[in-house]
A and B are shown apart, each in its own frame.
Chain A
Amino acid sequence: MSSASFKGRKDKQLIMLNPETKLIPDLSKPAMAATRDGYGKGLMTAGEKDDRVVVLCADLTESTRCEEFKKKFPERFIEMGVAEQNLALVASGMANYGKIPFAASYAVFSPGRNNEQIRTNISLNNVPVKIVGAHAGISVGPDGATHQALEDIALMRVQPNMVVVVPCDAVEAEKATLAAAVNDKPTYLRLGREKSAVFTTPATPFEIGKAITLRDGADVTIIGCGMLLYNALMAAEELSKEGIECMVVNSHTIKPLDEKTIIEAAQKTGAVVSVEEHQVNGGLGSAIAELLAKNQPTPQEFIGLQDRFGESGTAEELIEACGLDIAHIKEAVKKVIARKK
């Protein structure tokens, strides 16, 4: 089992980190890149591999990183204008016909604005449209609350047939894009605007629906998705110095959730902290709580937006103000451990 103690390395950090995950050698010195950049790279490869891959974009070609694809495959790029409802509908028609459409906009607009079009014509129709929601989360920063998608995971994970993937860094985003291109299912890919720590490597395993245990520990399990996973890892390192050992699980796929890994982790540690750049209502944390309530009731703390909107500010300011930083994760860990019976 992947959550066993990882022996064989000298210092404590390396003992606790799962060597199978092949993270970067020095976690404290990651390169920085945005998950949307990883998507852009993955899209190029997906387009080269399969000429059924087409890209539709709603007047945001550069910022959603569809620009390179448009240049390389102009005949397979479709400009939709600022029309997200039609984006979802035309993509649905193309998928129904047999293409593999990636439909890109900002997450607030798609799957925000066009939710019902996605529900009926993509999820219920069960056609393999890849909905690419860029600029998701609070880290979009100065644009303010109108542009910070904080409910998109909830919107997408309640739709039957829909697969929901939230990559933790640019390297994982590239793999997720390639995996989505071949999974033959309606799929939501959630991407960030801001550069964030790249802590996985091309050798890190990735499979949709399979959570990755990044670090072992017996006291608590931190389960996260997206760029905040890096904060979770850093919190675990710091807590280790205080004698608290955290298991850290990368649950990049929110639907289908890797139930086995999460239940086993909850069994082993008896306490869970969920970490996501999303409302605590309805996101990854909720998915975990639903699962555990049925199978393995476990005390849980939720890191995320506590039923509030974001606002303008730098990503860093907002992450701190909304309680998504390392300090708040550490606090949540201590709180949940205290709740263990």
Chain B
Amino acid sequence: MSNYISESKIQELEIKANEARELLIEMLTEAGSGHTAGSLGMADIFTAFYFHILNHNPKNPDWAERDRLILSNGHICPIRYVAMAMSGYFPLEELKTLRKFGSRLQGHPEREKLPGVETTSGPLGSGLGQACGMAYAARMDKKPFRIYCAMSDGEHDEGSLWESAMFAGKNKLSNLTGIIDRNNIQIDGFTENVMPLENLRAKYEAFNWHVLEVDGHNIEQFIDAIEEAKAIFEKPTVIIAHTIPGKGLPEIEFDPAWHGKSPKPEEAKKFLNELRTLGGKIKSEHQ
């Protein structure tokens, strides 16, 4: 039992995360391209962020005292867009414009286009340094809010990310929490074949970070870790969230081929049915 969140609130978040997955499939199918695996895998964590963790104001995205959530691996922006729409940043309808000409929902998120995305991302390995800049500046001004930086595992191949990690450790940026989508896939295959990352925990520890590991689909565990990070003094914290790429749709789970493609309409029909019947556990589709 969590000390930080009630049983009923967790259930509420789990239902929301499932809704988010449905919206994801719909929007990616409509877009005709985009990144499905990582987005589905981070649905629980983004739901937890937008509906529980973040101190934010969807009606005033530029509110100066808000917590900052940087999405470094910008290619999974569909899940961020879904969570933003669900929490009231913009109408759900707008999700259908993903990747279309003239849309605010660019294929990779852009700060100048959509208020609330905090920064432009897509090119990997660049989010953590920006999060460090925000955390350092906020501490200079004695601001109490927190800076979160969501990263993928594949982007840990980038040297720039480790430069930022070293900076955060040196400067004891305890207002900064990194979250790693440890789904073990990248484009050319499994991370441990493409460019082994392990021992990832030991690497961060060597860089003077506090390291926590959670099941990224266990919302309770994740929220507990976020709370623990707030109590860590003189170190940044990184939460290695073990996730399943494509989570929620067994036939695509763990498959690197789904890194960068979107469902075709026939596939979407099947996927949506699967999500709405909770993998066939219930007979009638819930809505």
* A residues neighboring B (CB under 8 Å): 57, 59-63, 79-83, 85-86, 108-109, 113, 142-147, 311-314, 317-318, 321
A50 to B69, CA, bound (A): 50
With most chain A CB atoms within 10 A of its CB, the pick from B99, B101, B159 is B101
Known: A60-B188, A145-B110, A146-B110. 7 other contacts (CB 8 A): A57-B188, A82-B158, A83-B159, A113-B123, A146-B121, A147-B107, A311-B102
Residue of B99, B107, B194 with highest tally of chain A CB at under 10 A: B107
Contact of A312 with B186 in the complex, beta carbons under 8 Å: no
Name the contact of B154 in the complex, choosing from A59, A63, A313, A321 (C-beta under 8 A): A59
In the assembly, what is the distance between CA of A86 and CA of B186, in Å? 18
Contacts of B103 in A (CB 8 A): 312
> Which of A86, A108, A312, A317 sits near B106, CB closer than 8 Å?
A312
A142 pairs with B123, CB closer than 8 A: no
Contact of A79 among B34, B125, B159, B195 (CB under 8 A): B195
* Chain A interface mostly: loop
Chain A positions within 8 Å of B121 at CB level:
146
> Of all chain B residues, which has the CB nearest A70?
B188
Task: Tell whether, in the assembled complex, residue A144 and residue B157 are in contact, meaning their CB atoms are under 8 Å apart.
Answer: no
Query: Would you give the shortest CB distance from B230 to chain A, in whole angstroms?
Result: 31
Residues of chain B lying within 8 A (CB to CB) of residue A311: 101-102, 106, 113
Q: Is the CB of A80 within 8 A of B108?
A: no
Report the minimal beta-carbon distance from A243 to chain B, rounded to whole angstroms. Answer: 35
Give bound CA distance, A63 to B194, whole Å. Answer: 16
5 residue pairs from A and B, CB less than 8 Å apart: A81-B157, A142-B34, A144-B106, A312-B105, A318-B101
Contact of B122 among A62, A81, A143 (CB under 8 A): A143
A59→B108 contact, CB < 8 A: no
Q: Cβ of A59 and Cβ of B187 under 8 Å apart?
A: yes
Whole-angstrom CA separation of A145 from B194 in the bound complex: 27
Q: Are the CB atoms of A146 and B188 closer together than 8 Å? A: no
Name B's interface SS.
loop
Q: Which 10 A-B pairs have the closest CB atoms?
A: A81-B195, A313-B101, A81-B157, A146-B122, A144-B107, A142-B99, A144-B106, A82-B157, A146-B108, A143-B107
CB distance A80 to B195 under 8 Å?
Answer: yes
Q: In this complex, what residue of A is CB-closest to B125?
A: A82
- Give the size category of B's interface with A: 20 to 34
Binary contact readout B89-114 vs A (1 if CB under 8 angstroms, 0 otherwise): 00000000001111101111010010
CB distance from A138 to the nearest CB of B (A): 12
Partner of A144, one of B32, B108, B155: B108
Which residues of chain B have C-beta atoms less than 8 A from A144's C-beta? 99, 106-108, 110, 122
Measured between beta carbons, the chain B residues less than 8 angstroms from A63 are 187
- Is B165 an interface residue, CB under 8 A from the partner? no
**In the assembled complex, how far is the CB of residue A135 from the closest CB belonging to chain B, in whole angstroms?**
12
Residues on B lying within 8 angstroms of A by beta carbon are: 31-34, 74, 99-103, 105-108, 110, 113, 120-125, 154-155, 157-160, 186-188, 193-195
Bound together, the chains give a CA A252 to CA B132 distance in angstroms of: 43
Shortest Cβ distance from B29 into chain A, in angstroms?
A: 14
Which of chain A's residues have a CB closer than 8 A to the CB of B113? 311
Cβ distance B180 to chain A, nearest Cβ, rounded Å: 14
The smallest C-beta distance from B195 to any residue of chain A, in angstroms, reads 3
Contact partner of B195 (CB less than 8 A), chosen from A83, A108, A312, A321, is A83
What CA separation (Å) do A157 and B4 show in the bound complex?
A: 58
| Minimum Cβ distance to chain A for residue B24 (Å) | 16
Contacts of A57 in B (CB 8 A): 188
Q: Is the CB of A108 within 8 A of B186?
A: no
Kindly provide the distance from the CB of B218 to the nearest chain A CB, expressed in whole angstroms.
28
CA distance A147 to B121 in the complex (A): 10
Residues of chain A lying within 8 A (CB to CB) of residue B123: 108-109, 113, 146-147
How far is A14 from B157 in the complex, measured between Cα atoms in Å?
53
Tell whether, in the assembled complex, residue B154 and residue A85 are in contact, meaning their CB atoms are under 8 Å apart: no
Determine the residue in chain A with the shortest Cβ distance to B124.
A82
Partner of B107, one of A60, A312, A321: A312
In the assembled complex, the CB of B190 is this many whole angstroms from the nearest CB of chain A, namely 12
| Closest-CB distance, A36 to chain B (whole angstroms) | 15
* Inter-chain contact A312/B187, CB cutoff 8 Å: no
A83–B102 CB distance below 8 A: no
Shortest Cβ gap from A23 to chain B (Å): 32
Q: Which residues of B contact A83 (CB under 8 A)?
A: 157-159, 195
Cβ contact within 8 Å between A142 and B31: yes
B101 adjacent to A314 (CB under 8 Å) = yes
Identify A82's interface contact among B32, B33, B74, B154, CB under 8 A. B154
User: How far, in angstroms, from A81 to B186 measured CA to CA in the complex?
Assistant: 9
Q: CA separation between A85 and B124, bound complex, in Å?
A: 12
B194, A81: Cβ atoms closer than 8 Å: yes
Shortest distance in angstroms between A211's beta carbon and chain B's nearest beta carbon?
34
